[in-house]
Amino acid sequence: MAERGRTKQATMRDVARLAGVSTATVSFAINNNPRVSPTLRARVMAAIEQTGYAPDAAARTLRRGVAPSLGLIISDITNPNFATIALAVERAAQARGYGVFICNTDEKLEDERNYLRLMRAQRVAGLLLATSGRDDAAHAARLAAEVAMPVVLIDRPMSGLDWDSVVTDNVGAAHAAVAHLVALGHRRIGYVGGLPHLVLADQRLEGYRRALAEGGIAFDPALVRQGNYRPHEAAASTRALLAGADRPSAIFGTNAITILGVMQGIAELGLAVPAEISVVGVDDVPWATVVRPGLTTVVQPSAEVGALAVEMLLDRIADPGRPPRHEVLPTNLVVRGSAAPLA
């Protein structure tokens, strides 16, 4: 019974013929041009209804030079932070008539470059970009050359590029987490972070150092571990930190992936949280309330990042000359109990 192939679509000419008007009139009617009289418009709309006509996006794109779609370039959609951003992006775009191409670079610069090319070929109206490149002049220059269209940087800032950006307050997030631990009396606080070459990493480390300094605690590089976005590696880092002689009494894990690894590492060692080790994480990890006591985390406003970024991108598309905006959204410390006063 079911059709499995492609059904031929009605075109504007079919509609025009049926309504007894020209294709120009159909076009103007569709695009709400006031030049068509209400009577005619009604006739056109009826014909559209009857034929099941839907405008061909390709033809429209060819004519207008730009497609009704946006590109979302991230490293990995299974990262909950990116998934939440993606959901918000897609819903906001959909509401404004745009489709969203999703691109997972897996942190590979070459993949990112390929996607930029692909998005250019697709004539997408604009790009939401969480770049995997390091924050240096060379990468900035290459990006500027390769992007060549409206773009909003999301989640991961690039200091050398004066483009619109929407990021969370990374310094503030790390500061809040670590200050919380310091206030509880902790003085040796381990830091388990993600990819060290991202600005984001510098910023979170900066927040960590600042909170330590405010507590009169000397920075000890031996307590800092950074690595890739794999729980396994974060677990290994955690075990290493906790195996040392002068082991930390608390650990800060700087994102959803690393905090997962941190908790796994602690579980493997059989240590009790928070009795033997206090923990603070980042991100609204779904399982925060499943572990007992609940995981204290600094929550990023991922959905807001996505929604705001779409707004800003559409503004940029509408007016390429407007001055760039840089939005830094605040984070929120949610205290649940995985960090306790130092005994």
Closest CA to 326 of 312, 315, 314: 312
The answer to whether the beta carbons of residues 251 and 184 sit under 8 Å apart is: no
Helices (H) and strands (E) in the chain, counts: 12, 12
32 or 78: whose CB is closer to DNA? 32
Interface residue list for its own copies (CB under 8 A): 1-7, 9, 54-59, 61-62, 66-67, 69, 76-78, 80, 83-84, 86-87, 90-91, 94, 99-104, 106, 114-115, 117-118, 120-123, 144, 147-150, 161-163, 231, 260, 263-264, 267, 285-287, 289-292, 316, 320-321, 324
Q: How far apart are CA 278 and CA 186, in angstroms?
A: 9
Number of residues that bind DNA (CB under 7 A): 28
Q: How close are the terminal C-alpha atoms of the chain, in Å?
A: 72
209 or 296: whose CB is closer to its own copies? 296
State in angstroms the smallest separation of the CB of 2 from DNA: 24
| Token pair 């492609």: residue | 6
163 or 191: whose CB is closer to its own copies? 163
Closest CA to 101 of 80, 130, 126: 126
Q: How far apart are CA 243 and CA 222, in angstroms?
A: 12
State in angstroms the smallest separation of the CB of 145 from its own copies: 9
Among 17, 23, 120, 271, binds DNA (CB under 7 A): 23
Report the site for DNA in 68-97 (rule: CB under 7 A).
none
Helix, strand or coil for residue 249?
coil
7 or 39: whose CB is closer to DNA? 39
Q: Residue 23 binds which one of DNA, its own copies, none, with CB within 5 to 8 A depending on kind?
A: DNA
Q: Is residue 200 near DNA by the rule CB under 7 A?
A: no
Q: Residue 104 binds which one of its own copies, DNA, none, with CB within 5 to 8 A depending on kind?
A: its own copies
10 or 342: whose CB is closer to its own copies? 10
> What are the angstrom distances between the C-alpha of 312 and each of 55, 109, 245?
27, 25, 50
Q: Is residue 51 near DNA by the rule CB under 7 A?
A: no
Beta strands in 169-215 (DSSP E): 189-193
Q: Residue 11 binds which one of DNA, its own copies, none, with CB within 5 to 8 A depending on kind?
A: DNA
Indicate if the alpha-carbon torsion angle 304, 309, 314, 315 is positive or negative. Answer: positive
Sheet with 189-193: strands ordered across:
224-226, 189-193, 250-253, 278-282, 296-299, 332-334
Q: Residue 12 binds which one of DNA, its own copies, none, with CB within 5 to 8 A depending on kind?
A: DNA
